[in-house]
Amino acid sequence: MAHVIRIGLLGLGVVGSAVANALMEKGDHLTGRIGRRLEVARALVRDGDKPRGVDRALLTLDADDILDDPEIPIVVEVMGGENPAHEYIVRALRAGKHVVTANKEVMAKHGPEILSIAADRGVDISFEASVGGGIPVIGPFKLDLVANDIHELRAIINGTTNFVLTQMATRGADFAAALADAQRLGYAEPDPRSDVEGVDAAYKLAILGSLAFHTVVRPADVYHEGITTLSPADFRYARELGYVIKLLAIGRARDGAVELRVHPALMPESEMLAKVDGVFNAVEVEGDLVGRILFYGRGAGAGPTCSAVVADVIDLAQRLAACQASLWRPTYDGRYRFRPMDEVSTRYYVRLLAVDRPGVFAQITRALGDAQISLASVIQKQNLVVGDPPVEYAEIVLTTHEAVEASMQTAISAIAALPVVHEVGSLIRVAS
């Protein structure tokens, strides 16, 4: 009988349950490939009474049962959140265990230190599932793309928000209902504010940015905005203008600085990223040698995430069986400073409500001109009646040529302060 490699699961929720099932169902097949039998030894949960499709004897409420067990060489962390997950990962590595994690928050906040602890202890931490769900993207950055200088990456890396945006754009779905569907389907984080406020995508961009630009990127280095302020009118106007709205993660290295930002963006509907819908994610990378490449697949959900986690487990198990350590270590060359959001240059879409009378456009364009911003297009859309007593306003949609963020913010404050302007409803960047 093949030797057994015992695995400790920290968490048995959406991802953990799928991992446990896959390891059990594919047992014989994997044993044939690895030459060792993979066995789920224990699974840490919070609630021992919750009905689950596994043998209750596997469950434990005490992490020490896994972290202090010398017979468990591989720990899979799929519990989520910063703590105690971070503490458990570090304890496992210090105890000489290999770790697989799907935890973007921990890897974004503590990745460099965790990788260094693993290197010192001669063990591995694998984190393919932390970005892009089932899409192989960490592996290519670690291995296949290392010959390149990466100039740019643009990505859709949150399945929940892409699902919600697709539902809103194509079915006119209500935000709350679409988010509830994403939660029911197992895409959302335990606290979905992390998804819809762009925090989850910012964690993922910090991880990808560190690998792509060989720079230690912390979550605080990534500017982020979420999708909660988008209105049905924006989807309608975006479509009329030939765009779709996506929550885009952008990393761009230029002139010795790297900019990292996550925010909703209007994308020309002809672009490949614009066609990435529902729970699908995509990461578009531009390297000096390879040119532009695109990674595409399901970015969240039990199956795709389990695919990445189990692949990492198999890789570690194969190396354990062969007594081979991984040679990969991150390299940080300090080549780039971070470009603050104020200095980023992009195009903009603005939707506002203003009094419908002659001279109003002139005031708005003057405010933009004073900030050195050039208009690309202005359209007066339908008139809306708002307020009590009711007042009729014109809805105006304008787009600009490329402008510096700080200038745009100055112009928007000036426009919002104009007595003829009722409100600036949206300011959305246009992908370029």
Q: For residues 247 and 367, which CB has a smaller minimum distance to ligand HSE in the complex?
A: 247
* Separate counts of helices (H) and strands (E) for the chain: 14, 18
We find the least distance from the C-beta atom of residue 135 to ligand HSE, in angstroms, to be 11
| Contact pick of 46, 292, 335, 337 for ligand NAP (by CB under 6 A) | 46
We find the least distance from the C-beta atom of residue 299 to ligand NAP, in angstroms, to be 8
Q: For residues 14 and 403, which CB has a smaller minimum distance to ligand HSE in the complex?
A: 14
Residue 309's closest CA among 65, 93, 87, 20?
Answer: 20
Whether 274 and 264 have beta carbons less than 8 Å apart is answered as no
x-or-dash pattern for ligand HSE, window 148-187, by CB under 6 A?
----------xxx--------------------------x
x-or-dash pattern for ligand NAP, window 61-80, by CB under 6 A?
-----------------xxx
Q: For residues 12 and 276, which CB has a smaller minimum distance to ligand NAP in the complex?
A: 12
| Contact pick of 133, 264, 278, 297 for ligand HSE (by CB under 6 A) | 133
Structure tokens at 87: 């503490």
| C-alpha separations of 207 from 73, 86, 131, 266 in Å | 25, 16, 8, 24
- Measured over the CA atoms of residue 77, residue 78, residue 82 and residue 83, the dihedral's sign is negative
| C-alpha separations of 167 from 104, 132, 305, 394, 399 in Å | 25, 20, 22, 28, 25
**3-class DSSP assignment, residue 23:** helix
x-or-dash pattern for ligand HSE, window 244-283, by CB under 6 A?
----------------------------------------
Alpha-carbon distance 25 to 166, whole Å?
Answer: 34
**176: amino acid identity, one letter:** A
**Can you give the three-state secondary structure of 265-326, one letter per residue?**
EEEECCCCHHHCCCCEEEEEEEECCCEEEEEEEECCCHHHHHHHHHHHHHHHHHHHHCCCCC
Q: For residues 186 and 226, which CB has a smaller minimum distance to ligand NAP in the complex?
A: 186
| Contact pick of 20, 129, 285, 364 for ligand NAP (by CB under 6 A) | 129
We find the least distance from the C-beta atom of residue 301 to ligand NAP, in angstroms, to be 5
User: Using the rule CB under 6 A, is 103 a contact of ligand NAP?
Assistant: yes
User: Using the rule CB under 6 A, is 203 a contact of ligand HSE?
Assistant: no
| Contact pick of 92, 155, 188, 248 for ligand HSE (by CB under 6 A) | 188
Q: Which residues within the stretch 298-317 sit at the binding site for ligand HSE (CB under 6 A)?
A: 299-300
Q: For residues 16 and 287, which CB has a smaller minimum distance to ligand HSE in the complex?
A: 16
User: Using the rule CB under 6 A, is 84 a contact of ligand NAP?
Assistant: yes
Point out the residue whose Cβ comes nearest to ligand NAP: 13
**3-class DSSP assignment, residue 214:** coil
User: Using the rule CB under 6 A, is 297 a contact of ligand HSE?
Assistant: no
Alpha-carbon distance 71 to 40, whole Å?
Answer: 12
Alpha-carbon distance 265 to 249, whole Å?
Answer: 9
Alpha-carbon distance 325 to 318, whole Å?
Answer: 10
We find the least distance from the C-beta atom of residue 55 to ligand HSE, in angstroms, to be 27
Whether 334 and 215 have beta carbons less than 8 Å apart is answered as yes
User: Using the rule CB under 6 A, is 189 a contact of ligand HSE?
Assistant: yes
The percent helix, strand, coil of the chain (3-state, each to 5) is 40, 30, 35
Residue 16 interaction partner, one of ligand NAP, ligand HSE, none, beta carbon < 5-8 Å per kind: ligand NAP
Residue 14 interaction partner, one of ligand NAP, ligand HSE, none, beta carbon < 5-8 Å per kind: ligand NAP
Whether 92 and 99 have beta carbons less than 8 Å apart is answered as yes
Q: Tell me how many residues contact ligand NAP (CB under 6 A).
A: 27
The residues of the shown chain that bind ligand HSE, judged by CB under 6 A, are: 133, 158-160, 187-189, 195, 200, 299-300
The residues of the shown chain that bind ligand NAP, judged by CB under 6 A, are: 11-16, 44-47, 50, 78-80, 84, 102-104, 129, 133, 186-187, 189-190, 300-301, 305
